[in-house]
Amino acid sequence: MKNRKLTQLGHAVRQPTSPDRAKLESVPNPHPGDDYLIRFTAPEFTTLCPITGQPDFAHFVLDFVPGKAILESKSFKLYLASFRNAAGFHEDVTLTIGKRVAGVIKPKFLRIAGYWYPRGGIPIDIFWQTGKLPSGVSLPDTGVASYRGRG
Nearest CA to 49 out of 10, 83, 12 is that of: 83
The one-character DSSP state at 139 is: -
What pLDDT score does 3 carry? 47
Average pLDDT estimate for 81-100:
97
Which of 20, 34, 35, 49 does the annotation list as catalytic? Answer: 49
Based on its alpha-carbon atoms, the radius of gyration of the chain, rounded to whole angstroms, reads: 16
Helix (H, G, I), strand (E, B) or coil at 77: helix
pLDDT bucket at 151, cuts 50 / 70 / 90: low
pLDDT digits (tens, 9 = 90+) for 39-79: 999 999 999 999 999 999 999 999 999 999 999 999 999 99
DSSP notation for 79-119 = HHHTTTT-B--HHHHHHHHHHHHHHHH--SEEEEEEEEEEE
What pLDDT score does 1 carry? 45
Tell me, yes or no, if 125 is annotated catalytic. no
Tell me, yes or no, if 49 is annotated catalytic. yes
pLDDT bucket at 9, cuts 50 / 70 / 90: confident
Q: Which CATH number fits domain 43-131: 2.102.10.10, 3.60.20.10, 3.30.1130.10, 3.60.15.10?
A: 3.30.1130.10
Listed in sequence order, the residues at least 6 apart from 81 whose beta carbon sits closer than 8 Å to its beta carbon are 15, 16
Q: Where are the domains of the chain?
A: 43-131
Strand order in the sheet with 38-48: 38-48, 55-65, 109-119, 122-131
The one-character DSSP state at 29 is: -
What pLDDT score does 119 carry? 80
Nearest CA to 63 out of 90, 89, 21, 97 is that of: 97
User: What amino acid is encoded at 142 in this protein?
Assistant: T
Which of 20, 35, 56, 63 does the annotation list as catalytic? Answer: 56
* Cβ atoms within 10 Å, residue 17: 12
